[in-house]
């Protein structure tokens, strides 16, 4: 199974229209290394999270919370 963080990084890239190349450069990866990370050819390490989050303008929780939980949380808040 793919790492939840990688799944969410790919989702954020799609949602924001951001390229892998842009994030790789901003986070200090080569294009190849970042691609390898997203495609399971390189181990995703916790030390990558701050740099990737900064380049995606997101919080670490955005990488580790499943999308369905985010939607459920927002829906629950709207009922209050």
Domains of the chain: 4-79 (1.10.260.40)
Place of tokens 């892998």: 20
Q: What values do phi and psi take at 41, rounded to 5?
A: -90, -5
DSSP code at position 67? H
DSSP 3-state of 19: coil
pLDDT, residue 8, reads: 95
Q: What torsion do the CA atoms of 55, 8, 61, 74 make, to the nearest 10 degrees? A: 120
| Whether pLDDT at 21 is above 90 | yes
Radius of gyration, alpha carbons of the chain: 13
Taking the model in full, what pTM does it have? 0.81
């Amino acid at each position: 199974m793919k790492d939840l963080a990688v799944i969410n990084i790919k989702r954020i890239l799609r949602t924001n229209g951001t390229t892998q190349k842009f994030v790789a450069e901003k986070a200090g990866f080569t294009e190849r290394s970042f691609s390898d990370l997203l495609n399971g050819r390189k181990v995703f390490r916790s030390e990558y999270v701050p740099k990737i989050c900064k380049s995606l303008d997101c919080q670490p929780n955005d990488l580790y919370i499943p999308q369905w939980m985010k939607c459920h949380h927002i829906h629950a808040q709207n009922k209050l």
